[in-house]
Every structure is written in C-alpha cells, then in structure tokens.
Chain A
Amino acid sequence: MEERTIENRKRKGLPKTVYALKDGSVYTRLSFPIMGFGQIARGQIVKGILYMLTELFFVLYMLFFGGSYIAHLFSGNLGTTLSGERWNEDLQIFEKIKGDNSFLILLYGVVSVVVTLAFVWVWLMNVKGSYENDLRRLKGENIATFKDDVRLLVNERFYAPLLILPFIGLLVFTVMPLVFMVLIAFTNYNYAHMPPGKLFDWVGFANFKTLFSLSGGTSGFAFVFLRVLLWTFIWAFFATFTNYFLGLAIAMIINKKGIKLKVLWRTLFVLAIAIPQFVTLLLMQKILDSDGILNKILGTNILWLTDSRHLSILPRVMIILVNIWIGVPYTLLMCSGILLNIPTDFYEAARIDGANAVKIFFYITLPYMLHITTPYLITQFVGNINNFNVIWLLTGGGPVDNVYYGGGTQAQSTDLLVTWLYRLTTDRNPKYNVASVIGIVIFVISAVLSLITFNRTSAARNEGAFQ
C-alpha cells in the first residue's frame, strides 16, 4: 500500500525535494536548515558530520569573504568608489579609503557563485539522502551504513571517486576562469578602464556591436574579423589534413612488408619530436629569414615569411609547410601504433575474397583508422583553430598589411583569431573586452563544429563496433 503511493508520487514529476519537505519525517525537515541532521538521527554519523562541516564552512566563507562580492556582483555595477584620499571633516585629516576594484569584484564574485552552486548541490544530496532514509524506514529496509556507502562507491558508483578530483581541477582552472572571461565581453574593460586607477562597468552588447557592425568600412572591425576568420579556417583545414594523411602514408610505407630498418626510419622522423616546438619554430624562423641560410643556399632574396604581396600568400604557404614538419612525426607515431592493432583476420578475410591493396585500404584500413581517430581529428582541427605557437613564433601574425587589416583593429595578415586575441590582451593598449568577444566567437565556431561531427561519427554512435 505504502509502496504504491510512493510510485504515484514519482509519476507526478515534482522534484524529490518537494516531497521531502511535504512528506518527510521531522528529521528530514530539520535537515533543510541543519545539514546532516537526518543522517545523524538515523545513525549515519560520519556522513552527517561531513554534511554539517560543509555547511559550517560555507556559512563562514560567505560571512567573511564571498558574501560581499556576491552582493557587489548583483548590485548592477562593478564598483563606484575609486581608492584614494578623502578629506574627513570631523578629524580634520586626509583619510585613505580602500576603493572598489571592478576586476576583483568580478573575479571573486564568479568564484563565490561557483562555490554557492556547489554548496546547493551538496545540500540537495543531503535532503534527498535523508528522505531516502525515511522511505527505506517505511518499507522496512535497513538504512545504509557507512560501509554500505563505501561499497557502493567501489562498485555501482565507481565513476564518482574516479571523476571527482579531475573535475575539481577542471572547475578551478577551466570553468571559473572561462565564466569570468565570458563576462568580460559584456564590460568596457580595456586600456582606458584599468582598475584600480579607473573602474570598468557593464556595457551590454556594445562590444559585439563593435566587432560585427559594418559601419567601420572595409578596414573596420567587421571586415577584418571576416578576413581573419576565413584564414583561420583555411589554415585549420590544411594543417589538420596534411598532417594526418602524410603521417598515415608514411606510417603505412614503413609498416609495409619487406621494408627493412623500420626502427631507423621511424626514428628519423620521431627525432623531430625531441626538439621542443618553440625551439624548432624559432630555428625555422631564422632559417627562413631574408638573410637566412635558405636564401644563402638558393642564392635568392625571397621574403619567405614577410612578403605581404598577393594577400601574403607566401608566408601562409610557408607556415603550413613548417607545420607539416612539426606535426607529421606525431601522426606518424599514432598511426603506426593503431595500424598494428587492426586485427589480422580482417586482412586475411579480405585477401581470401580477392581484394587488392587499394580496396583493402579503402574498405578496411581507412574505416578502422577513422573509427579510432575521428575524435583525434576533431581535437586536432579545433586545436589548429587555436594553434598559437606556430603562427606567433614564425610570423608573429605579420606581415603588417595596412590595406586589409588596419583601422585600429591591431590585426595582421597571418593572424588567427587566437593570435589576434593574444595581441589584444598583451598590447600596450589592451582591449580585453574585444578579445573576450573574439574568444566567445572561437568557442561558438569550435563548439558547433565539433558537436555536429562528434555526434555523427561512428566512434561516438557505436563505441563497441570493434570490440
């Protein structure tokens, strides 16, 4: 009888918390304000004490630190008082006053909101857990002991202990900074508004308007943005697929039956990985310099990396070539590892059916490779959209091209969105707000791209295909 009503309640679809308040025992209701009460009352001492400590910590945090920042964050402005000295009429002295700092208000505000959300999540667990105990008592079942909880964590819920630490790291070093920087896009934080000297404030979508409105003419932000965007895509496409297919080709050649000295050949390429990327890039930049060794050997005077004629086509091609030099060893290593993992019975079966080498490649090798490496290709493509080092160390984003990229946008002709972003934040006149909008654009592009491809690939749909 009791059980049926429980089932009926669930069907109505209200959150469990509501029932916990409505139908829960006194203990459960008390655990709304006092976390852990329901657990301790039912004998789950350790769990209960942990909940109580969490609540204590949260209250103290809010009282002494987070509370004021959250209040500031939601007050509608990011601080009004500048720090400085103020004349105190009563004491007849100049008083030092600690003013607001928009930057810290925003940063610690975000931190405090995240802490609050985490607390709410724990609080919900506490209430639900207590209500769960009530239901178990009604059904005449035993309340889970601490030992039972631990057993659950190493069996059905083994994912929880596995995921908790990596996710805390993620929260602190990725999620919080990102939320913060996304919020910057809606402020006027730039060289003219640098706290604590000058405060910044919310400006709504004004920065988005600056970047996307065509009113600036063909050298204004909107056109420059489109040019940079187009080049970012061209670069990412070529950088990803040249590396992948060249790496696969070389790996297949080395793996071919009858080729001797496999280790030697592989080592020749892998050696390139040993040199840190930034060293290689600085070295290549010097080799390709107008006075560099390549021009000396060829007896020419070609501006490999700085020729801005024909839309800087030469520097662009050189960047992609240098990237092949850097990237192919990695794909070569990865591909040769996976090639060896292809079950040999696939090949035997194909050979018995009379398939030739080309057919075997297109019907077995390539599908298998793509099945395993599609996620890798997606990450590589997105990685190349964000490939800072290659561009920054080879050309620095240059050459400067005032015809197509001028107008105070601080962009240059081989800039990717991400190097443009970097220049906007590290320039002598930083524009954090515009940089942040560009960051959001990069994110939207990559997010849309990879969510579509990722969910359509066989790797995601059909994880067990080759098991």
Chain B
Amino acid sequence: MLSKRIIICLDVREGKTTKGIKFKGNVDIGDPVAMAAQYYEQGVDELVFYDITASSDKRDIIIDVVEGVAKEIFIPFSVGGGLRSLDDMHRVLAAGAEKISINTAAVQDPDLIYKGAKAFGNQCIVLGMDAKKVEKTPAIPSGYEVYIHGGRTPVGMDAAQWAKRAEGLGAGEICLNSIDADGTNAGYEITLTSLISGAVSIPVIASGGAGEPRHLSDVFKKSGADAALIASMVHYQRYTVPQIKEYLSQEGVPVRRFI
C-alpha cells in the first residue's frame, strides 16, 4: 500500500537551518547537511529545504547545501525559496534536488509552472502555497486566500481556484501551508487541507501547525493529505521520526517501515 509520507522541512538562511514562528523571528538551529543526514538515518521519507536567505548575493550558498545534501542522502528532497526562472530551477536540480518548490514566483508568473513542468517533468514542480482564512467573498469563494512573500502579502486569489489552475499548468504536487496554523504546534488546519486535497487530483502535502504525532494522524485521517510536513517537533528533539511513525502505524495510518 502507498504510505503516507513524513517530510521534514528545513528553513535555510545563509547556509544554516533556522526556525521561526509565524514566519518571524528566526533562530539558527544547525547545519542543514548534518541535520539531513541525521533525519535520513532516522528514516524520514523526504526532505524539503526552503532558502530564506534575504540578500541576493548570498543566494548561491543554497547550491552548496544542495550538493552537500545530495551526497549524503538517497531519498527525494525538494528545494524552494527564491527560484524565479528556469535557470534557477535547473541549477538546483543539477545540484541534486529531486523537485523544486515555487510559491511567490508562480503567483507572479503562473507560466513558470508550465515552463518548469515542460522542461523538467510535472513531478519536479511543487506548487508551494501559503493560505490564510478570510471572509468569503465573490473573489474568494472558499474563504481561503493565497498569500506571497513568505505569508506577508495577500494577492486576492482563492486558494482552491489557484490549486486547480496550478494543477492544470502542470504542477505535480502542492505543498499547502496554513499561515494561521504555522508555528502554533496546535495541529494542521484540516478544513483548508481537505478543501485543497479535494480540489485537485495531484498529491497534497499538509504544512503548518504540527506539534505532536496525533496532529499527523488527524490530518491523514480527516483531510486526504498524502504527506505531512513537520519541522520544530523534530528539530527541537521533542520527537524522533521512528516515534512519529510508530504512533501513526498504531493509529492505522500506512507509513513506510524503516528496516
């Protein structure tokens, strides 16, 4: 049976892993290559690296990180953050990433999804989407609005409509982050995840809010998510990947056996 994937997210700023709360106040917590290798040994199913480096002259550092990670781990990993062109995507893929995640750049230039999918295959293009609950309006019928710039700027687009459009343009997967739940450790936003998972036929990764193993079990059982993103619950050693998988397995959620 196809397993539900546990994906660990590492936010990388100038070559260091950081963790913030609600997109603000990041603190450095370690070397991304060493952390990736450790999580690989623990049996994580996939990794994602978001480059949150602010200054453009330090952007190339992420390529070194990707190359370092690709030598250490032999599971899929994706890279996002600051990728704006086919050339940017190509460099990250050539450095060893399996997929690339585009968010703000896709909203500003939806054709980038199409061009990326055509050049590298649909499975390479992950649409990263930050969504926030808002009042339902004719423009936002689902009541969830798309935000860009790391969750700071609303764009007036409906999250479910954007998901469908991105699928049509060739996105192979959607990584859906709830701005409201992000960093709260209070659980994923099930309603939003169900909405997007039901709107498209490509895999959806739930993101934002994971604090305990039962949050993963909830989102898998209630929302149709295919994968769940976790960060602080493992970065701060509150749980290990085997502990989370053991819990999910007992709850009847199919997870990859790490043997």
Do A and B associate with each other?
A: no
Chain A residues in the interface with B (C-beta under 8 A): none
Chain B residues in the interface with A (C-beta under 8 A): none
